[in-house]
Amino acid sequence: MKNYKYNTLFFALIIAAISLVSCSNDDDNLDITANSVIETGTGVAIKNTFQGGVGPAFTDGAEVPIEVFFPDADPTALSATATIEDAVEFPSYLLGLYDVDIDENSINFQMTAQTGDATYGGFFRTIEAGSFDRYYLTFDEPHNVKSFTSSDAAVNLRIDSDNVLVVQIGEGFVFQPGASFSITVSEKEPITPQVLNGETVHVRNTFQGTEITDGIEEKIEDLFGAPAGSLEASTTIVEGVEFPSYLLGLYDIDIDGNSIEYTLVAQADDAN
């Protein structure tokens, strides 16, 4: 691991990604209606990445494109485009792993790989902590998704922008033949807080820079030369700042029912 000057890292951290994991259940907090939010006829592209903390697909905690695992595969089998219609948009996507069906109000995954599958047979398991299987859906037109519910607690939907949704499969997902899940989407804003007082939240930090990390997402402990996990923190959602002076005095992080606020507390002459 390269050593970097702390003052360079400080300015880079202003745009670093902070991961917040809340133990909420979206199913209890959203008002999902049947209004159309993904228009039929819209073009959509799909691609996949994997981030392996441990397990058979280890990536040292970095999110990598699926092409890293299948360098000899036909690129059209790993990244594909389709038009939203009354049919499965991506049949047997990812070398025969999933049927991916996108409707006006839902995103549905049905595993098509069977026991003993030549590609995936050695990977069937319950997904471990620290591993994430992400499916990026990029739409030609705005999708209007404001909220969602998932049929599987291990599956989340990330709303990256008006044109990008990310289906994220994580810890606890039973990655076995026959697996399926459905995400119902809505144009309605949540009617109750998605984050409730008393819930547990965990924060950790990574950084990815063209020059500082050669384009690789690195754990912040590696950049500071700190022990693994030493710059992570957990707390309970309360009325107040949950993570004061987080990351060696960089930010106050305040999490409320429907917002996350960052206040930079480091000063111009800060030692870090």
Residue type, 100: V
Name residue 71's beta-bridge partners: none
**Once rounded to an integer, what is the mean pLDDT over residues 117-122?**
95
Count Cβ neighbours within 10 Å for each residue of 50-89 and write b for 16 or more, e otherwise: bbbbeeebebebbebebeebbeeeeeeebbbebebeeebb
**What pTM, to 2 d.p., does this model score?**
0.62
Q: Would you state the pLDDT for residue 236?
A: 78
Which residue did the predictor score with more confidence, 11 or 116?
A: 116
pLDDT tens, position by position, 26-84: 444 444 445 689 999 999 999 999 999 888 888 988 999 999 999 999 998 999 999 99
**Once rounded to an integer, what is the mean pLDDT over residues 213-222?**
88
Q: Would you state the pLDDT for residue 4?
A: 44
Spell out the residues 6+ positions from residue 194 whose beta carbon is closer than 8 angstroms to its own: 22, 24, 26, 29, 30, 257, 258
Which residue did the predictor score with more confidence, 214 or 27?
A: 214
